[in-house]
Amino acid sequence: MSKEQARAEIEDLRRRINHHNYLYYVLDNPQITDAEYDRLIRRLIELEEKHPELIIPDSPTQRIGAAPAVEFATVEHSVPMLSLGNAFSYDELRDFDKRVRKGVRVDSLEYVCEPKYDGSAIELVYENGRLVTGSTRGDGYRGEDVTQNLKTIRTVPLRLQGEGVPARLEARGEVVLNLKDFEELNRKRLEKGEPIFANPRNAAAGSLRQLNPRITASRPLNVYIYARGHIEDHDFETHWDTMQTFRDWGLRVNLPEMRLVQGIEEAVEYCRDLEERRHSLPYEVDGAVIKVNRYEYQDALGATSKSPRWAIAFKFAAQEEETVLEEIAVNVGRTGAVTPFAILKPVRVSGVEVRRATLHNEDEIARKDIRAGDHVIVRRAGEVIPEIVKSIPEKRTGKEKIFQMPRKCPVCGSAIERTPGEVASYCTGSSCPAQQLEHIIHFASKGAMDIDGLGEMRVLQFLNEGLIQDAGDLYYLKKEQIVPLERMADKSAENLIRSIDKSRHTTLGRFLYALGIRHVGEHTAKVLAAHFGSLKNIMNASLEQIDQVREIGPVVAQSVHTFFRQPKNIELINKLLEGRIKIKREEKAEETPLQGKTFVFTGALEHFKRDEAKKLVERLGARASSSVSKQTDYVVAGAEPGSKYDTAKKLGVNIISEAEFHKMVEQYL
């Protein structure tokens, strides 16, 4: 291949990859598979390796290549990055509206409402469409040059696209880490004995300020653009138009969550709705931002030295509150792990009463210097178990107690030991009742054997009555044995026996997860099941064979291997199999009315991400297709649907609204 041919192919590949990045990251509407995308990237790397002289800084391959910096250079913001004034009630929002209307002398104003992301503010500078600088907010006037780190974030375009891209454009936004990714990051850090991040905001800010861009690259950060700085040769009239155009140029703007509203009451409605949905969003928001839409009015209103007069942040109920940590106790889990937790003076955090919080392990407690009796900050976010963010040492009286891991298990009295190289401590009692209880509860839980009606109360009752000693005994229970128990009617006994019977038909992934192997969560269990195909294969696999499975690290491999070599575990497995458990290989979709149907999504959905909606219908046994044909059963039309809508009309395919779709699936959410 000549150099000219290589150049042409490289340019074509870059153009295609950038286009697919835009479809995937900005429009949330990928049109090729991950494998096809990987092929394009690999081919580009191959050609660039052969022709290093053709590598340019904004090639899609250059997201992770820069060497670690010693320290960050300073970047001056051409327009200061101000902060926002706060409103803590709807009346304060109405006051804001009055002030603004008085300032510009109009009766009613158009506002743009958006989520207030709880992340780390950044500025991106594009010159002739190329990303030249990315910086943190710093003190608002001067930030740090984190260009190399920002380049590793896939939702930051290295090059803008489309018509009319200005000679110089400053875009501002927030770098965030989704809650799920935050938990996963902390889980891994805990496993490695590293300090964990207090919240996604700290994790995002910390990741952004890494001197080694490779570390930033390893964290799944996201960016949302919500404001402009200085823009050369382009006049926008409104914030709303700016955001639409920014998106067309390839910047990631969260349009589905933004609203253009008339008057403050509609803005109040937006705040109410967003606060209600706050915990179903993948990222953390601490409020909503209300902005005057017209720049003419914004300019007339101006700013104080700290914040603009044309925007305000409506703050949601705090997710962090102060309380007193009364005692540190420990809990013995199903794998024998002894986990310390805090017993708190009850406190309401974002609408829910919190009495307990996890403390992870003794190293974390020491690192955060948390003592029994301390005043502490408790944090609760979404579904996450409440956590202690920090203690407040200034409030100590001297009576606080430093935590020490008990030497003996509080339940069975066996020794508690800490495995060298691990942060967790374990109860060494092989028949510790606490472990057994937790193990059986886990065994019966939804993601495991899914035995409906067998909760903690029943398991405890069966154990106390001597009806069962381990999970295997469940499959030998007779209705007559459980009918006489307290709070057990004939009907409930029958239902429970039926649920146990139903759970006999399970999948390998569920079964492995149910066994409660240390370090094997639901996902890992599925990975192992898919790789080995049968229980026998896993049980016979050598350590090396397990270690070679993709996504399985040495610690997990060791744990799985050891598990299947312990006689008591083999005994349990045999007991289960003799109890007529049938393990099938593949997970089948749930039996639902959506079974076998084909869905096509078009337009912007309000409450689902396109990906999530697709995954959801697939989980329910339907197919999600990207094009409409006669075979399509439903076209779900969101806001501003595209050509698929017209095709569906022409073909007479059933078109439903997002609300109707929501109704169809809501019981499975």
The footprint of ligand IVH (CB under 6 A) covers 82-84, 114, 116-117, 121, 137, 174, 226-227, 289, 308, 311, 313
Q: C-beta of 178: minimal distance to ligand IVH in Å?
A: 15
Q: C-beta of 227: minimal distance to ligand IVH in Å?
A: 5
Residue 312 or 437 having the CB closest to ligand IVH: 312
Q: C-beta of 96: minimal distance to ligand IVH in Å?
A: 14
Three-point CA angle 469, 470, 472, nearest 5°: 125
Q: In terms of DSSP H, where are the helices of 445-542? A: 456-464, 479-482, 490-503, 508-514, 522-532, 535-540
Residue 175 or 637 having the CB closest to ligand IVH: 175
Instruction: Tokens for 574, please give them.
Output: 């045999």
Q: C-beta of 136: minimal distance to ligand IVH in Å?
A: 10
Residue 84 annotated as part of some ligand binding site: yes
Residue 427 annotated as part of some ligand binding site: yes
Report the residue closest to ligand IVH, judged by CB.
121
Residue 292 or 581 having the CB closest to ligand IVH: 292
Q: C-beta of 286: minimal distance to ligand IVH in Å?
A: 8
Would strands 582-584 and 416-418 be described as parallel, antiparallel, or unpaired? unpaired
Contact 73/145 with Cβ under 8 angstroms? Answer: yes
Three-point CA angle 291, 295, 300, nearest 5°: 95
Catalytic residue among 98, 102, 116, 306: 116
The secondary structure of residue 492, as a DSSP letter, is: H
Q: C-beta of 307: minimal distance to ligand IVH in Å?
A: 6
Residue 36 annotated as part of some ligand binding site: yes
Residue 412 annotated as part of some ligand binding site: yes
Question: Which phi and psi angles does 550 have, rounded to 5°?
Answer: -55, 140
Contact 309/100 with Cβ under 8 angstroms? Answer: yes
Instruction: Tokens for 14, please give them.
Output: 């870059």
3-state SS, 593-611, equals: CCCCCEEEEECECCCCCHH
Residue 114 or 321 having the CB closest to ligand IVH: 114
Sign of CA dihedral 52, 57, 58, 64: positive
116 is catalytic: yes
Residue 116 or 368 having the CB closest to ligand IVH: 116
Q: To which residue do tokens 């026996």 refer? A: 497
Residue 37 annotated as part of some ligand binding site: yes
Residue 72 or 226 having the CB closest to ligand IVH: 226
Instruction: Tokens for 85, please give them.
Output: 């004034």
- 12 Cα distance to chain centroid: 34
Cα–Cα dist 325/527, whole Å: 40
Residue 232 annotated as part of some ligand binding site: no
Residue 137 annotated as part of some ligand binding site: yes
Residue 221 or 529 having the CB closest to ligand IVH: 221
3-state DSSP assignment of residue 161: coil
A 10 A CB-CB count for 473 gives 18
Instruction: Tokens for 253, please give them.
Output: 């703007």
Residue 84 or 444 having the CB closest to ligand IVH: 84
Residue 35 annotated as part of some ligand binding site: yes
Residue 315 annotated as part of some ligand binding site: yes
Contact 315/334 with Cβ under 8 angstroms? Answer: no
Q: C-beta of 195: minimal distance to ligand IVH in Å?
A: 24
Instruction: Tokens for 177, please give them.
Output: 């880490």
Question: Which phi and psi angles does 572 have, rounded to 5°?
Answer: -60, -45
Contact 271/250 with Cβ under 8 angstroms? Answer: no
Cα–Cα dist 467/374, whole Å: 43
Q: C-beta of 522: minimal distance to ligand IVH in Å?
A: 33
Residue 409 annotated as part of some ligand binding site: yes
User: Measured between alpha carbons, how far apart are the two ends of the chain, in Å?
Assistant: 53
A 10 A CB-CB count for 393 gives 12
Cα–Cα dist 44/12, whole Å: 10
Residues belonging to the binding site for NAD(+) are 34-38, 83-84, 114, 137, 174, 291, 315
Residues belonging to the binding site are 34-38, 83-84, 114, 137, 174, 291, 315, 409, 412, 427, 432
Residues belonging to the binding site for Zn(2+) are 409, 412, 427, 432
* Residues taking part in catalysis: 116
